[in-house]
């Protein structure tokens, strides 16, 4: 079972519908016990309550741009987290210029106090975050306002320890396994020398997840998403409305698929779906998916509350 999980909390464009809330997606780092959110549209906190995610584990929020369907849920979510007893861990928000001014003003004018450390970091292109195992990069995209895509990149992971081989060499399970995992060379009671490095597989490439904000066609997507395991990309329109997509700074399903193909990603997940394609009487979602799959076969269509394991 994977320890890196995407959970879609909102997959609609512009305004909520009966089946889709506005944009937000969670990325869980299960072993670290941390949660990152990407965008926070209206009612995201309600969606969290209906999911398996926990605000107590929230560490970072990445905002792609300042259109309301991507940020209107942010003040409420932060305030509600502050009301939960014993949650004092810090939250860092990354986003475009103007985000901190809007958020701080909203909190101030509504007399909303935040009971934990809250930092807002204005992003520029390039590396914006790094810790011992992870990095986050961002690129400007092509929308009507400044909009960013984010790449969450895991650093190379240690190779797996071959316990079966160690047992076959006569190493008893227990503390000696730990020393061999650390690369030590041991001499067993019978005189046999066992080198830990021979029991450890080569380092494994880290995983890469890319989540793009609203965007029209731009080479920046492929540049950011090169070799990603998963690319989450908007698909607001079908190609029949390509002119409207271009005018509004959005993408068609075919455009998203072309970007995924150029970047050589593993899986494309379409989101930010216009309500026009999913009415009470009919659904054109199969057309949207088919349009993308004709160009990039390994394409999925995001749904609210669906989860996707990475790697």
Asked if 159 and 205 count as a contact pair (C-beta separation under 8 A), the reply is: no
Q: What secondary structure, in 3-state letters, does the chain show?
A: CCCEEEEEEECECCCCCCCCCCCEEEEEECCCCEEEEECCCCCHHHHHHCCCCCHHHEEEEECCCCCHHHHCCHHHHHHHHHHCCCCCCCEEEEECCCHHHHHHHHHHHCCCCCCCCEEEEECCCEEEEECCCEEEEEEECCCCCCCEEEEEEECCECCCECHHHHHHCCCCCCHHHHHHHCCCEEECCCCCEEEHHHHECCCECCCEEEEECCCCCCHHHHHHHCCCCEEEEECCECHHHHHHHHHHCCCEHHHHHHHHHHHCCCEEEEECECHHHECCCCECHHHHHHHHHCCCCCEEECCCCCEEECC
Q: Is 37 exposed, middle or buried (0-12, 13-18, 19+ CB in 10 A)?
A: buried
Q: Is 3 a catalytic residue?
A: no
Nearest CA to 142 out of 237, 62, 70, 217 is that of 217
- Give the active site residue among 39, 69, 214, 229: 69
Residues tagged active-site: 69
């Amino acid at each position: 079972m994977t320890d890196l999980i995407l959970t879609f909390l909102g997959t609609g464009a512009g305004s909520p519908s009966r089946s889709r809330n506005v944009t937000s997606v969670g990325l869980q780092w299960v072993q670290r016990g941390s949660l990152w959110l990407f965008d926070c549209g209206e009612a995201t906190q309600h969606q969290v309550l209906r999911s398996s995610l926990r605000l107590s584990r929230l560490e970072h929020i990445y905002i792609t741009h300042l259109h309301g369907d991507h940020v209107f849920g942010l003040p409420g979510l932060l305030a509600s987290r502050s009301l939960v007893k014993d949650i004092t861990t810090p939250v860092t928000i990354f986003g475009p210029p103007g985000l901190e001014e809007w958020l701080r003003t909203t909190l101030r004018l509504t007399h909303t106090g935040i009971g934990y450390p809250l930092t807002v970091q204005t992003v520029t292109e390039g590396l914006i975050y790094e810790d011992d195992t992870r990095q986050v990069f961002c690129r400007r995209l092509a929308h009507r306002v400044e909009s960013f895509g984010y790449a969450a990149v895991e650093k190379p992971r240690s190779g797996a320890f071959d316990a079966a081989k160690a047992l076959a060499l006569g190493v008893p399970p227990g503390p000696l396994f730990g020393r061999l995992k650390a690369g030590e060379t041991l001499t067993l009671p019978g005189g046999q020398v066992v080198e830990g490095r021979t029991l450890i597989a080569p380092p494994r490439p880290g995983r890469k997840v890319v989540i793009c904000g609203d965007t029209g066609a731009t080479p920046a997507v492929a540049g950011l998403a090169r070799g990603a395991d998963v690319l989450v990309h908007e698909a607001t329109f079908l190609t029949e409305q390509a002119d409207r997509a271009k005018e509004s700074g959005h993408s068609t399903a075919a455009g998203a698929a072309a970007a995924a193909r150029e970047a050589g990603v593993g899986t494309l997940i379409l989101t930010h779906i216009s309500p026009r394609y999913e009415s009470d009487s009919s659904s054109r979602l199969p057309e949207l998916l088919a349009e993308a799959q004709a160009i990039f076969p390994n394409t999925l269509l995001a749904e609210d509350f669906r989860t996707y394991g990475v790697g």
